[in-house]
A and B are shown apart, each in its own frame.
Chain A
């Protein structure tokens, strides 16, 4: 626009002169970005492409966040935030939208998985980092990475065919698909992330700490528990939060073993439904545009907030780790 104004003020300029002006404007632009040669131009455009790729991730996150809020919030407000979050009955067809059973189940399931998975995972990490000889460690480590690579639907399938009947037999129940089975499956699923991160942080503990402890007369095991573990605590904490994140977002594996009935998680043997599975099991059926469908998006929003919270906690741990 400004260029045109300037050109308009200089009516006696010939076409050629204008072209020269335009060219020099381009040159000025080039100079401003330091694009003196063709190489610089290529460099600049590749930079731009990289930026676009990076921006894609940001755009996706922004889009999903905004979409979830826009599609999930109205239903939540219509139902009433308190009724939605604290209501204890979910029968969407009768217009009862209380997701407290799902929230408590997700919390209980994740908590249970952490109770089992963290001791096993952290002890495995200690073993790998400090105790095992190289050959044994290599075998275990590749087994752990295989465990991480197994698709979650396979966990669910094996859980359904093997674990559910086993739980039923072991506890003399009428049906083995319940909270306990889901916790066991989740505990196994979060092991790889806990082991990997905890092992890395245990390995990063300076040798001098341990040597000093050994020199003071502590045994090897005493050293691991009293010196290495406390020194690596922020890394271990990070691994736990990662495990929580994995467990709370899992759907496919637990839909097949948890029973998938919207009950309050009264005991380990109650068939239950998680936040994630509440969405997946009814999304196909809820008519488009109904409060039922919108409320499923609201569940998604609640789940999203949970995971955001976990990410914030994770960031705090990582920050602490850098400072300490």
Chain B
């Protein structure tokens, strides 16, 4: 019995020693990491940031937020930024009741939401490209024409100057941020008559590519450089970063960081917020496919 106890005690002591050593090595690594980043980064960020930042909301903002969160985590090893989905409304709610540090919404705040003391900060702009098959002869549509296609008033491409083909409308499933953005901008909320609801941006592009009758919508970033489809001009304005930024391209929406007035962010969250909305993050936002607004 005594022998067993002794062995157990030895084992425990051994484990503790390993734990202590591991702790040492971790600390060493940490010191190395905070020492190495280039001076411009370490000057703009306080070095002793720690904790976690939770962001929650629009799934359309996933790629932008994940890119930002990853880089911020690298610059500040003590901070983890989590990005959760749930949709714009969930993001607004999370900012309102404090379940997340920063809410994410891929639309401007409504008036009643602003009355609740919520503050919107535009992080980036997202252009929604209207895409058709590369063989489609139609190159330009107005927002009204696009709306009438998706509500089923116009059913043949010949009515719009194209060849005699029936129009197939491809959209996203209810709840998708892109669908929400498209329908709210074109004023077709819940009146769209779709031929297929797809569950991802990639699937919409794939479906449009394989069907000469098709029209669909997808984020500007996802459409660039795709073969077999083309983004049509809307009211004569091409869908590009420049036209989204100057506001001439009409089918666009803001990516908004939602915070609550009078509620102080944690130091880590405040640092993330400041960095994300600064010019330093612009290239990252661009690489994630949205159009940054910070100069």
Contact surface of A with B, Cβ cutoff 8 Å = 91-94, 160-161, 164-165, 168, 173-177, 255-256, 259-261, 271, 273, 281-282, 284-288
CA distance A177 to B204 in the complex (A): 13
Is B163 at the interface (CB under 8 A from chain A)?
no
Could you show 20 A-B contacts with beta carbons less than 8 Å apart?
A93-B174, A94-B190, A165-B211, A174-B168, A174-B195, A175-B196, A175-B211, A176-B211, A177-B195, A177-B196, A255-B199, A256-B203, A259-B197, A260-B173, A261-B194, A273-B197, A281-B199, A282-B175, A286-B175, A287-B90
CB distance from A96 to the nearest CB of B (A): 10
Among the stretches B81-89, B257-265, B278-286, the one at the interface with A is B81-89
Question: Is B175 a contact partner of A174 (Cβ separation < 8 A)?
Answer: no
CB distance from A44 to the nearest CB of B (A): 27
Question: Is B87 a contact partner of A287 (Cβ separation < 8 A)?
Answer: yes
Question: Is B195 a contact partner of A259 (Cβ separation < 8 A)?
Answer: yes
Which residues from chain B contact A160 at a C-beta distance below 8 Å? 206-207
Question: Is A260 a contact partner of B196 (Cβ separation < 8 A)?
Answer: yes
CB distance from B265 to the nearest CB of A (A): 24
Is B210 at the interface (CB under 8 A from chain A)?
yes
Question: Is A281 a contact partner of B173 (Cβ separation < 8 A)?
Answer: yes
- Which of B166, B174, B199, B206 makes the CB contact (< 8 A) with A91? B174
Question: Is B197 a contact partner of A174 (Cβ separation < 8 A)?
Answer: no
Which residues from chain B contact A271 at a C-beta distance below 8 Å? 194-197
Question: Is B197 a contact partner of A168 (Cβ separation < 8 A)?
Answer: no
Which residues from chain B contact A273 at a C-beta distance below 8 Å? 197
Question: Is B174 a contact partner of A261 (Cβ separation < 8 A)?
Answer: no
Question: Is B190 a contact partner of A161 (Cβ separation < 8 A)?
Answer: no
Contact surface of B with A, Cβ cutoff 8 Å = 59, 85-87, 89-90, 93, 165-168, 170, 173-176, 190, 194-199, 203, 206-207, 210-211, 213-214
Which residues from chain A contact B90 at a C-beta distance below 8 Å? 287
CA distance A256 to B210 in the complex (A): 14
CA distance A287 to B167 in the complex (A): 33
* Residue ID in chain A nearest B210 by CB atoms: A165
Given A259-B195, A261-B195, A271-B195 in contact, is the A174-B190 Cβ separation under 8 Å?
A: no
Question: Is B196 a contact partner of A284 (Cβ separation < 8 A)?
Answer: no
Which residues from chain A contact B89 at a C-beta distance below 8 Å? 287
CB distance from B59 to the nearest CB of A (A): 8
CA distance A175 to B210 in the complex (A): 10
Question: Is B211 a contact partner of A168 (Cβ separation < 8 A)?
Answer: yes
CA distance A176 to B212 in the complex (A): 12
CB distance from A294 to the nearest CB of B (A): 15
CA distance A287 to B85 in the complex (A): 10
CA distance A91 to B174 in the complex (A): 8
Question: Is A284 a contact partner of B213 (Cβ separation < 8 A)?
Answer: no
Given A165-B211, A281-B173, A284-B85 in contact, is the A175-B190 Cβ separation under 8 Å?
A: no
CA distance A176 to B92 in the complex (A): 39
Question: Is A174 a contact partner of B167 (Cβ separation < 8 A)?
Answer: yes
Which residues from chain A contact B87 at a C-beta distance below 8 Å? 285, 287
Which residues from chain A contact B214 at a C-beta distance below 8 Å? 175
CA distance A33 to B25 in the complex (A): 56
Given A165-B210, A168-B211, A284-B85 in contact, is the A175-B195 Cβ separation under 8 Å?
A: yes
Given A282-B173, A282-B175, A287-B90 in contact, is the A91-B194 Cβ separation under 8 Å?
A: no
CB distance from B167 to the nearest CB of A (A): 6
Which residues from chain A contact B190 at a C-beta distance below 8 Å? 91, 93-94
CA distance A169 to B175 in the complex (A): 31
Which residues from chain B contact A91 at a C-beta distance below 8 Å? 174, 190
Given A93-B190, A168-B211, A260-B198 in contact, is the A175-B168 Cβ separation under 8 Å?
A: yes
Question: Is A285 a contact partner of B197 (Cβ separation < 8 A)?
Answer: no
Given A93-B190, A271-B196, A281-B197 in contact, is the A173-B166 Cβ separation under 8 Å?
A: yes
CA distance A244 to B284 in the complex (A): 51
- Which of B166, B176, B196, B206 makes the CB contact (< 8 A) with A261? B196
CA distance A44 to B31 in the complex (A): 58
Question: Is A285 a contact partner of B175 (Cβ separation < 8 A)?
Answer: yes
Question: Is B166 a contact partner of A174 (Cβ separation < 8 A)?
Answer: yes
Which residues from chain B contact A288 at a C-beta distance below 8 Å? 86
- Which of B93, B203, B206, B213 makes the CB contact (< 8 A) with A174? B213
CA distance A281 to B175 in the complex (A): 9
Question: Is A161 a contact partner of B210 (Cβ separation < 8 A)?
Answer: yes
- Which of A175, A176, A255, A282 makes the CB contact (< 8 A) with B174? A282
